[in-house]
């Protein structure tokens, strides 16, 4: 039996053992997040406090992401994930104690939100980099679809379970659920091994400095022309789309003359679309050429956003349908992007590539949130949605006419070959 045939038969059990442990951990995280946000809302009623918590959840990825990628590539990915899970579990344990002791303050929650974001800065890219080493390339898009399905499920299950447990349990017990699920995740990592990439030695057999490794990550992306263009397009989309969807409550109130029930309906419709889209991607896997799946999904996503912005107040059902379609298309864009990065990026570079892309995307989130309010006041909520949808549609269509984007996977193979030849010459 060949190695490839063996991998085809044996990858599922170890990978999905780890995946199941991580899924439990994500459920615990979703429950804890809902409980903390509701506690902040109930205690302060301050939009500034909530905005501050959102900002703290993004800052670690922006500032520390590239350096985190270096450490992910330098160390065993399984060790990185165990330490990240243990760190966030201990932070939740500390918070549980604060609730139990009756000494909770707002700054405690800020510390926890920042710490959890710090842990996820290492954990998420390490899990993505491990996936490409455990899952055969032809199944990566389907696994991405499964991950998107889980995200859709969490959008329902997390808030529902959070609200339920808040009714049944004191807050310190709710936080202990997160601790327990972290232990489950660590347990699966302890019993399953994860393959490691071959790390290239530096000159004289010594490892380069952290700074040089981080610079190499940026050079790798910039030298990959198609990926550099693709990343610039993704950053533009993040900058345009995030402000629009952060204003969804105002769209519901001003355009549809609705309230919390209508907002809940739109968000639930989005979650249903996300769930169905994730299942569809996991079954189909997308077009053979991943770029085609991403660009087609991006263009259609833009159409859905435009329709949402143009829907009149008397046709709320159209807004519901648009919200479902937006959720449905997101896995084909986000999930396929992740699968493409896993399939095309050199294994020893994946930690740095994943964290740099995440860092730049998060930076766009911060920038967009900073301008969302003034822009919406100046041009109107509907205009903001239509403009972001148009940018999305145009980028999706224009991408088909950019050779560097359409050959991005072929470029990746050439880069891998050049790296192999360079290592051979150096040795």
Same domain, 377 and 313: yes
**Percent of the chain scored above 90 by pLDDT?**
20
Same domain, 2 and 44: yes
Q: Calculate mean pLDDT across residues 116-138.
A: 86
Q: Could you give the CA distance from residue 236 to residue 358 in angstroms, rounded to a whole number?
A: 14
SS3 of residue 260 by DSSP: helix
Res. 201 pLDDT band, cuts 50 70 90: low
Same domain, 157 and 223: no
Same domain, 90 and 210: no
3-state secondary structure 88-100: HHHHHHHHHHHHH
**What is the crossing angle of helices 210-223 and 350-379, to 10°?**
70
Q: Quickly count: other Cβ atoms within 10 Å of residue 378's Cβ.
A: 10
| CA-to-CA separations, 228 to 4, 203, 231, 357, in angstroms, rounded | 31, 28, 5, 10
Res. 177 pLDDT band, cuts 50 70 90: very high
Same domain, 141 and 166: yes
Residue 102 gets which letter from DSSP?
T
Same domain, 183 and 275: no
Q: For residue 165, what pLDDT is reported?
A: 85
CA 143 to chain centre: 14
Q: Six-digit token pair at 244?
A: 């629009």
Res. 207 pLDDT band, cuts 50 70 90: low
pLDDT in tens, 222-244: 778 888 888 888 888 888 887 77
Q: Calculate mean pLDDT across residues 78-89.
A: 92
Q: Quickly count: other Cβ atoms within 10 Å of residue 402's Cβ.
A: 18
Q: Which has the higher per-residue pLDDT, 208 or 86?
A: 86
Domain tally, the chain: 2
Same domain, 149 and 278: no
Same domain, 215 and 152: no
The radius of gyration computed from the CA coordinates of the chain, to the nearest angstrom, equals 22
Q: For residue 4, what pLDDT is reported?
A: 46
Q: For residue 187, what pLDDT is reported?
A: 94
SS3 of residue 402 by DSSP: coil
| CA-to-CA separations, 300 to 241, 262, 397, in angstroms, rounded | 14, 24, 10
Q: Could you give the CA distance from residue 145 to residue 300 in angstroms, rounded to a whole number?
A: 18
Burial letters for 174-191: b for 16+ Cβ neighbours within 10 Å, e otherwise? bbbbbbebbbbbbebbee
Q: For residue 422, what pLDDT is reported?
A: 57
pLDDT in tens, 343-365: 777 777 788 888 888 787 777 77
CA-wise closest residue to 398 among 244, 243, 236, 280: 236
Q: For residue 2, what pLDDT is reported?
A: 36
Burial letters for 382-399: b for 16+ Cβ neighbours within 10 Å, e otherwise? bebbbbbbbbbbebbeeb
**Of 168, 196, 224, which residue sits at a domain end?**
196
Q: Six-digit token pair at 360?
A: 């730049």
- Among all chains, which residue has been given the structure tokens 């809302």? 41
Q: Could you give the CA distance from residue 271 to residue 281 in angstroms, rounded to a whole number?
A: 15
Q: Could you give the CA distance from residue 316 to residue 306 in angstroms, rounded to a whole number?
A: 14
CATH (domain of 51): 1.20.1250.20
Most confident of the ranges 38-47, 181-190, 239-248, 332-341: 181-190
User: What's the chain's average pLDDT?
Assistant: 81
Res. 9 pLDDT band, cuts 50 70 90: low
Q: Is pLDDT at 32 greater than 70 in this prediction?
A: yes
pTM for this one?
Answer: 0.70
Q: Is pLDDT at 265 greater than 60 in this prediction?
A: yes
Q: Answer yes or no: are the C-beta atoms of 352 and 220 closer than 8 Å.
A: yes
- Among all chains, which residue has been given the structure tokens 């570079």? 349
Q: Which has the higher per-residue pLDDT, 209 or 220?
A: 220
Q: Is pLDDT at 427 greater than 50 in this prediction?
A: no
Same domain, 176 and 212: no
Same domain, 218 and 181: no
Q: For residue 84, what pLDDT is reported?
A: 92
Same domain, 175 and 272: no
Q: For residue 329, what pLDDT is reported?
A: 92
Q: For residue 426, what pLDDT is reported?
A: 46
**Of 196, 218, 234, which residue sits at a domain end?**
196
Question: Can you list the positions of beta strands (E) in 146-232?
Answer: none
Q: Is pLDDT at 1 greater than 50 in this prediction?
A: no
Domain that holds residue 65: 1-196
Q: Could you give the CA distance from residue 120 to residue 124 in angstroms, rounded to a whole number?
A: 5
Q: For residue 325, what pLDDT is reported?
A: 94
SS3 of residue 323 by DSSP: helix
pLDDT in tens, 286-324: 888 888 999 999 999 999 999 998 999 889 999 999 999
Res. 176 pLDDT band, cuts 50 70 90: very high
Q: Answer yes or no: are the C-beta atoms of 67 and 214 closer than 8 Å.
A: yes
Q: Which has the higher per-residue pLDDT, 283 or 409?
A: 283
Q: Is pLDDT at 418 greater than 70 in this prediction?
A: no
**Of 176, 196, 216, which residue sits at a domain end?**
196
CA-wise closest residue to 348 among 67, 123, 139, 76: 76
Q: For residue 183, what pLDDT is reported?
A: 94
| CA-to-CA separations, 106 to 159, 178, 364, 386, 394, in angstroms, rounded | 21, 19, 27, 37, 43
Res. 205 pLDDT band, cuts 50 70 90: low
CA-wise closest residue to 267 among 165, 364, 152: 152
Same domain, 298 and 171: no
């Amino acid at each position: 039996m060949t190695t490839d045939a063996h991998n085809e038969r044996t990858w599922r059990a170890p990978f999905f053992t780890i995946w199941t442990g991580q899924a439990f951990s994500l459920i615990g995280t979703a429950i804890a997040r809902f409980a903390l946000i509701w506690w902040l809302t109930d205690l302060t009623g301050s939009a500034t406090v909530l905005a501050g918590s959102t900002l703290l959840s993004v800052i670690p990825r922006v500032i520390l992401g590239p350096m985190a990628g270096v450490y992910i590539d330098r160390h065993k990915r399984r060790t990185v994930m165990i330490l990240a899970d243990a760190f966030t579990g201990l932070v939740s344990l500390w918070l549980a104690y604060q609730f139990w002791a009756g000494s909770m303050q707002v700054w405690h929650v800020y510390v926890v939100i920042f710490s959890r974001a710090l842990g996820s800065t290492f954990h998420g890219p390490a899990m993505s980099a491990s996936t490409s080493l455990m899952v055969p390339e032809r199944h990566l898009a389907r696994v991405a679809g499964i991950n998107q399905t889980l995200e859709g499920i969490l959008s329902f299950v997390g808030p529902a379970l959070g609200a339920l447990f808040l009714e049944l349990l004191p807050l310190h017990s709710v936080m202990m659920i997160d601790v327990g699920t972290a232990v489950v995740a660590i347990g699966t990592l302890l019993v399953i091994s994860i393959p490691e990439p071959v790390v290239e030695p530096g000159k004289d057999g010594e490892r380069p400095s952290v700074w040089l490794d981080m610079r190499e990550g940026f050079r790798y992306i910039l030298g990959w022309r198609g990926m550099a263009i693709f990343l610039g397009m993704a950053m533009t989309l993040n900058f345009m789309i995030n402000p629009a969807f952060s204003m969804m409550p105002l769209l519901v109130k001003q355009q549809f003359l609705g309230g919390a029930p209508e907002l809940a309906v739109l968000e639930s419709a989005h979650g249903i679309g996300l769930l169905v889209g994730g299942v569809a991607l996991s079954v189909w896997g997308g077009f053979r050429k991943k770029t085609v799946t991403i660009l087609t999904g991006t263009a259609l996503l833009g159409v859905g956003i435009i329709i949402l912005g143009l829907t009149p107040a008397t046709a709320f059902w159209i807004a519901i349908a648009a919200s479902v379609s937006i959720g449905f298309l997101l896995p084909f864009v986000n999930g396929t992007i992740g699968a493409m990065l896993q399939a095309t990026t050199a294994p020893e570079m994946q930690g740095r590539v994943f964290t740099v892309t995440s860092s730049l995307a998060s930076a766009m989130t911060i920038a967009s949130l900073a301008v969302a309010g003034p822009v919406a006041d100046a041009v109107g909520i509907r205009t903001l949605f239509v403009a972001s949808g148009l940018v999305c549609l145009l980028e999706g269509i224009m991408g088909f006419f950019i050779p560097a984007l359409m050959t991005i996977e072929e470029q990746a193979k050439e880069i891998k070959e050049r790296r192999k030849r360079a290592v051979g010459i150096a040795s």
